[in-house]
Structure 1
């Protein structure tokens, strides 16, 4: 049973930053309630709403995010074998678009540990860098890292949904991206999220209140790219969804369900005993084998290429770009 929200908020996100639609805060039917899926805050719930025009999803409640990031579980993550499998897939995806050991790459929003940067360096990639605004100044939070650009490749993995102003962030990254360079944006896909099902981990993880401020459709992400003057190259399957048995999104969510639903479990030692003794073990085995083909498609990865000739961008206020 979902408990009532315990956090007091005085400010709310009532306007869609894509199309400027304004939701009526008194219309309860416009909102859905989701629990926080981080262990330290699972007793708290938050409201979200979907823009009826562009389908972007917004977290209604404005909170002190520093308070919530202080206990964010990804800070405890280590480069375990599942992450190595995921990152090998990501490296191969980038290699398809020319990525090699001679290129420079920036993983923006890499987390306090910079796991993908660690992985690349272990694979012999020497010109790879990571930056995270929540990292420490003597680690991946050092702004001087950004001065090492321009970068041939930039990764923005599960970051754009965390920021207040996506256009400002992409402006910044456009200035860090070399002409002809590639940028890969991975993020939840609002089009495939059923806000009436907060009980499904795949949906709850993608909504991820209160950390995800805005969740976009593919059309919105492509709009952001056009505003920067980038060329759309391809839409890729997220790297955490693989054909390896037990390493797909559906089995991950079943594992999370067995262990009580917090996302923290993905950054802790694997609890095989809990899985083997669970009444849902048969579901875990089924998804371990067939989960790749039963995906909810709640995430997407879009790759763009910057023009080698121009840094020109479209103005933000171009109405009807999504139509």
Structure 2
């Protein structure tokens, strides 16, 4: 998981722990990969450089790789341990941070960036998007995913006075919400907030789509898949934007 240099040391240690869950499921990864493949097209005329920023163990990029045949997918993370695990799935991995100039790439070097469930963990998402914009070429693609604060079940939970799923008040335990895993979310977005934030950071938002969450109880998973038809109520937000 990519972080910023302003993150407390104990938060960095938290994300270094390989037992901390870092993804919302294969369905999200596959939907996001399909959106990216559709955006950049086949590698018939040129090879695109795709950076998976905050690649973690490389699962998202490995899911996308078969759909991006001929393109170069590079995993990037600040965690050396994560990069070791990612290298078992990806041929290219490099260390980098989401600080000003912290990614080891020239301005406009990338055709696309995968930013899978990273932004909700960041202390300074503004600087992070500035750095992503720097490494993307003009017109380059940003494919971002993040949990939805306004997921259909969170709306009901809030009405009942229950802490929403995905939100956290402690790194040490679960308090006031369903679930059993602490995952270190620092901020959450609704579809509207995410769209406005990305647009204000120098991107043209092309599309916002929805994806299901593997942690939804089995009896409710069909409903969760149906909710993807209304992205503002889906479990996971998938956003495609292009650098201006």
**Residues 1:213 and 2:157 are matched in the alignment:** no
CA distance in 1, matches of 2:190, 2:227: 20
- Count residues with an aligned counterpart: 195
Question: Which residue of 10, 32, 39 maps to 1:90?
Answer: 32
SS at match of 1:164: coil
**Residues 1:304 and 2:237 are matched in the alignment:** no
CA distance in 1, matches of 2:28, 2:148: 19
Shift of 1:146: 3.6
- Contact preservation (8 Å) 2:141, 2:241: yes
CA distance in 2, matches of 1:290, 1:187: 19
CA distance in 2, matches of 1:146, 1:179: 18
Partner of 1:223: 196
Shift of 1:70: 3.8
Question: What is the TM-score when the length of structure 2 is the normalising length?
Answer: 0.66
Partner of 1:232: 205
Q: Judging changes above 3 Å, is the alpha-carbon distance between structure 1 residues 145 and 306 closer, same or farther for their aligned structure 2 residues?
A: closer
SS at match of 2:226: helix
Partner of 2:95: 142
CA distance in 1, matches of 2:103, 2:71: 14
What do the CA deviations read for 1:26-52 (whole angstroms, capped 9, x no partner)? xxxxxxxxxxxxxxxxxxxxxxxxxxx
| Structure 2, unaligned runs of 5 or more | 1-7, 88-92, 97-101, 172-183
- Contact preservation (8 Å) 1:131, 1:146: no
Question: Which residue of 43, 65, 69 maps to 2:11?
Answer: 65
Query: How do residues 50-129 of structure 1 correspond to structure 2 at under 5 angstroms?
Result: 64-73=10-19, 83=26, 86-101=28-43, 102-111=47-56, 113-121=57-65, 124-129=69-74
Q: CA RMSD in A?
A: 3.2
- Contact preservation (8 Å) 1:130, 1:145: no
Q: Judging changes above 3 Å, is the alpha-carbon distance between structure 1 residues 290 and 222 closer, same or farther for their aligned structure 2 residues?
A: closer
CA distance in 2, matches of 1:76, 1:153: 21
SS at match of 1:178: strand
Shift of 1:207: 1.3
**Residues 1:181 and 2:140 are matched in the alignment:** yes
Shift of 1:288: 5.1
CA distance in 1, matches of 2:238, 2:51: 16
| Structure 1, unaligned runs of 5 or more | 1-61, 242-248, 255-283, 308-323
For structure 1, which segment, 86-95 or 178-187, has the greater mean C-alpha deviation from structure 2 after superposition? 86-95
